[in-house]
Amino acid sequence: MSDAVVIASRYNGPPGSGNGGYCSGRFASAAGLGAQTAIEVTLRRPPPLEVEIERRVDDGQVGFWAGDTLIAQVGPADPAPAELVEAVGWDEAVAASAHYPGLVTHPFPTCFVCGTQRAPGDGLRLFPGRLPDGRTATPFLVPPDICPELVWAALDCPGGWAVPLEGRPYVLGRLAVTILGLPQAGQRCVVMGAMTGEDGRKAFTRTSLYAPDGQPLAVARATWLALS
């Protein structure tokens, strides 16, 4: 296993840095934690693009560094999965997505996951619309190159839009993910998000990925940080 991770420019979130969910998935995969099913990634700095980010282990702590700058820390998460966000069906997710706030105003319109300026087949184009109770829902047509990193990515922005992002931009600070099973390419899945609380400039969310038959495939909890 290589000790360096390079985030390709395709996987940006805010301009000039990596999408938090995708990068967290890359760091989780590269951390070397063995058979851990629940992993938590804390992003200390915006992940740079097209730069070698070196994996280092110091006193049992796994970190990823760009030169002298600590980018992320990775460790096992609480083994109990995050509470599921109750699912809706594909048709209801499609209907909610038509009212995605990012279609009107978006702080990061080129984001790999939720950006409206990404072409189909390039970005994931997950457009989480809000339900009357504040949950978000988005359809997720699983791409051919599905992998754990893309599951982490899909669990990212649907939580952020439950905060919501359009009123005050937030970036991902911490993401803990439990993957129960990978979706299959071409499946029509649904991703749900919910905000669970706030503390100053922090917001807390949960997200869940569901298979076409309604079975949960992955769950996550996240901490978001409001930008100044």
pLDDT digits (tens, 9 = 90+) for 155-214: 999 999 999 888 889 999 999 999 999 999 999 999 999 999 999 999 999 999 999 999
Say if pTM beats, i.e. exceeds, 0.85: yes
Looking at residue 6, its pLDDT comes to 98
Q: Is residue 20 classed as helix, strand or coil in its secondary structure?
A: helix
Q: Within 13 A of 138's CA, how many CA atoms are on the CB side? A: 30
Helical (H) or strand (E) element with 55: strand 52-58
* pLDDT tier, 2 (very low <50, low <70, confident <90, very high otherwise): low
Among candidate residues 23, 69, 41, the one with its CA nearest the CA of residue 174:
41
Q: Quick one: CA dihedral 63, 79, 144, 128, positive or negative? A: negative
Q: Is a pLDDT exceeding 70 seen at residue 51? A: yes
List the structure tokens of 95. Answer: 């209907």
Average pLDDT of the chain, as a whole number: 95
Query: What tens digit of pLDDT does each residue of 59-72 get?
Result: 888 999 999 999 99
